[in-house]
Amino acid sequence: MGRFRSYYMTYQEENDKLLNSFLERTFFKTWRNQEEGLENFRTLELFLNTKCNLKCSYCYLANFGNELYPPRLQDDKRVLANLQILLEWLLDRKLTPKLELFSGDPFSLQALRMILDKFGSAETASWGLRSLSNS
């Protein structure tokens, strides 16, 4: 099999190709042009942390937050560094999703400031922001 391996994709290569194709046809296409894109793929939800103290019964983050987003990964510096990387990645590719921030503490203000600084100074066609928070 080693001789012919170059003719076939590896499992990871095939998965990457399928995922990229899906993302391009759905989210990225929509984020490039909100008017022509698919309604269900216009928004990018960002969960900054699970520190909300409201515990709304309908909220899956309130009910399963620590399992979905382990507290050890919620370090404020790490979250802001990752947010910086994500925003630069979106802007480099001229992708402008509508952003929804989920956070239950004033930390979201730092993230909001970063987003406004990045997108506010960028030459983007349109973008939107909604912050869902109890702060």
Is residue 18 scored above 80 in pLDDT? yes
Across the chain, what does the average pLDDT equal? 79
What pLDDT score does 1 carry? 47
What are the residue boundaries of the structural domains of the chain, listed by start?
Answer: 2-133
Task: Average the pLDDT over 24-47 and give the result.
Answer: 85
pLDDT digits (tens, 9 = 90+) for 42-88: 888 888 877 777 777 877 777 887 888 888 888 888 888 998 999 99
Task: Average the pLDDT over 11-25 and give the result.
Answer: 92
Between helix 107-121 and helix 76-92 the angle, nearest 10°, is 20
Handedness of CA 54, 56, 78, 106 (dihedral sign): negative
- 10 Å CB burial of residue 32 (0-12, 13-18, 19+) is middle
Task: Average the pLDDT over 24-43 and give the result.
Answer: 86
Closest of 52, 28, 60 to residue 41, by C-alpha = 28
